[in-house]
Amino acid sequence: MVTKMTTATKLPRFVAASILVLAAQGAWTQNVKVIANPSVKADSISVSELRSVFLEEKSSFAGSHVEPVLGRRGSAHDAFLRLYIGRSDSDLQSYYRSLVFTGRRAMPKALDSDAEVLAYVAKTRGAIGYINLETGADGVRTLTILSAYGNADRKLISRIEPDYPQLLRARSIGGTVRLLVAIAPSGKVTRVEVRGGDAALGEAAAQAVAKWKYSAARSETSTEIAVTFDPKIGTR
């Protein structure tokens, strides 16, 4: 499934892009760790499971009821949303308000500091939250995140090169687009979201990436990639 696609007409084909897989995990995970109340009987959680918990799509994990706990600000909050949720704070708050408005969910607990998040998670059965990597984690369980962005375990097996929009190439318009790619355990790409860059270039890249094949893994993974279009190296 490809999302955020806007161009309706089919673009002429040019083999024209250089692909850079971003090792985004290294920069972002330096700022945040995920913690859980000891009642949560798990040592790890996948990115997709974590996202589902915090988007309130699921209320159980590892056989236990779970409750997401948010920070309101700070580097850990920013890193968590960017790395694992894929939404800005304002977008996430709007999402939660829509759930409340429709009566499907209540607003999750939100606290002002790492110390408050740590204390709440430690005392609240099923609570899962996040704090700065350097903050102590006494009384809670630190969860290992499986298959985070840039996970080297998902080797790219086959790749379809993107089409280069003819009009843009003729006008020497290029650039880099960022894509968030969800990969099924089988290695099939199940979802592509354009996260930044020119819309037409993003669509061309997403259509190609949706046909990529990765190595198998035990759970769904997500990775962020960048696709760079260079008018000078494009060939028919």
pLDDT tens-digit readout, 49-62: 898 899 998 888 87
User: Using CA atoms in the order 207, 212, 218, 224, what is the torsion angle rounded to 10 degrees?
Assistant: -60
Fold of 2-23+150-233: TolA/TonB C-terminal domain (3.30.2420)
Residue 74 CB: number of other CB atoms within 10 A? 17
DSSP state of 208: H
Report which residue type is found at 6. Answer: T
pLDDT tens-digit readout, 36-85: 999 998 888 888 889 889 999 888 887 889 999 999 888 899 889 988 88
Can you tell me the mean pLDDT for 171-176?
Answer: 88
Higher pLDDT, 233 or 9: 233
Give the start-to-end residue ranges of the domains of the chain. 2-23+150-233, 26-146
pTM listed for this prediction: 0.54
pLDDT at residue number 234 = 56
Domain 26-146 superfamily per CATH:
Periplasmic binding protein-like II (3.40.190.10)
pLDDT at residue number 217 = 75
Is pLDDT above 70 for 14?
no
Q: How far apart are CA 103 and CA 60, in angstroms?
A: 19
Q: How far apart are CA 123 and CA 56, in angstroms?
A: 21
Confidence of residue 131 (pLDDT cuts 50, 70, 90): very high
Q: How far apart are CA 73 and CA 112, in angstroms?
A: 7
pLDDT at residue number 7 = 34
pLDDT at residue number 121 = 97
Is pLDDT above 50 for 141?
yes
